[in-house]
Amino acid sequence: MTKSERLLNLLILLLVQRNPVTKQKIRATIPDYQDASDEAFDRMFERDKDELRAIGVPLEIAAIDRFFGDETGYRIRPDEFALPGINLTADEAAVVGLATRVWQHAGLAAATSDALAKLSAGGAEIDRSRLDLAAPGVAVSDPHFDVFWKASLDRVRLRFDYRRAGASQPTTRNLEPWGVVSSSGRWYVVGRDMDKDEPRLFRLSRVHGAVRRIGKGEAFEVPPGTDLRALTRSLTPPQATETGTVLVRSGTALALRRSATATETGVSGPDQRTEWDRITVTFPTAWALVDEVLQHGANAVVESPTSARELAMGRLREAIANTEDGAA
């Protein structure tokens, strides 16, 4: 049972009862609570109550018997919990509906579709014909997105291999993922680095191999008041201030081309198999530029600055040496 399922079960249990429900009955009814030790149940139940109240659920403590107040239970008054009618203008409804067209990631697209269905059920008029405009697309192509995103929801610790900028080999990292965020067109996971015991930011495209879940859910809590976007800004690598040139094979390296400030076509390249273009790009460090270029294999070559070109050649020589050692 996931945390969201447990919270929903608790909500339904307290809504459908005519009288307050004792803590013992709540524990006996919900599977997650049944399987937990006394101490774990108390912690879990207190957190769940706080989360329901934080999202506006009027959960209250009341006496089981109005004549004898020595035994108490929990309840949610349906009249206080019921939502008022949803009144959205046509433009507001169109914006909400547009979210279902923006997300191209299966999990997030499903979430926005559910939101649209709930709004429709609540009486909001959604004019779907207004959604057929040129909508932007938010794609999530990184294969590691799902595991980090779900782990942040379930509060599950993760272990993975990560190669930071400037490192020749990946190292194993242990993380409590607080959330997944997008910054400057790239996806990052933010959380507590368990080895360094401090907040860290990891770029998903630099994660190598499988990501392993460690232990069970609800293993940690995000520090109260944490602003993931503000934390991401503070941990994000420096902005691109250096300028260099890269030779790219015609029709390839689209990611590099999107960030190019200038393009010169039909230039001489490392081989004559295809035509080459020269693009001008900005970057924060030579390591960052080389990381970007090497992802495109033989379709991109660092031309300048000299420091980045030499670094790229050194990385390639090291990769060849490692391959030869492995083959031997």
Domains 145-235 and 242-327 are alike in CATH topology = no
300 class by beta-carbon count within 10 Å (0-12 exposed, 13-18 middle, 19+ buried): buried
pLDDT tens across 3-55, in order?
Answer: 888 888 888 888 877 788 899 989 988 888 888 899 999 998 999 988 888 77
**Rounded-to-integer distance, Cα 156 and Cα 122, Å:** 34
CATH code linked to domain 242-327: 3.30.70
Q: Please tell me the predicted confidence (pLDDT) of residue 135.
A: 43
Three-state secondary-structure class, residue 11: helix
Which CATH architecture fits 145-235? Roll (2.30)
Instruction: Give the predicted TM-score (pTM) of the model.
Output: 0.43
Q: How far is CA 274 from CA 110, 225, 253, in A?
A: 42, 54, 14
What is the identity of the amino acid at 151? A
99 in the Ramachandran plot: left (φ > 0), alpha (ψ -120 to 50) or beta? Answer: alpha
Which residues of the chain have a pLDDT value below 50? 104, 106, 119, 124, 126-138, 328
Q: Please tell me the predicted confidence (pLDDT) of residue 132.
A: 41
Q: Please tell me the predicted confidence (pLDDT) of residue 155.
A: 92
What is the domain partition of the chain in residue ranges? 3-81, 90-131, 145-235, 242-327
Answer yes or no: CATH 1.10.10 is held by domain 3-81: yes
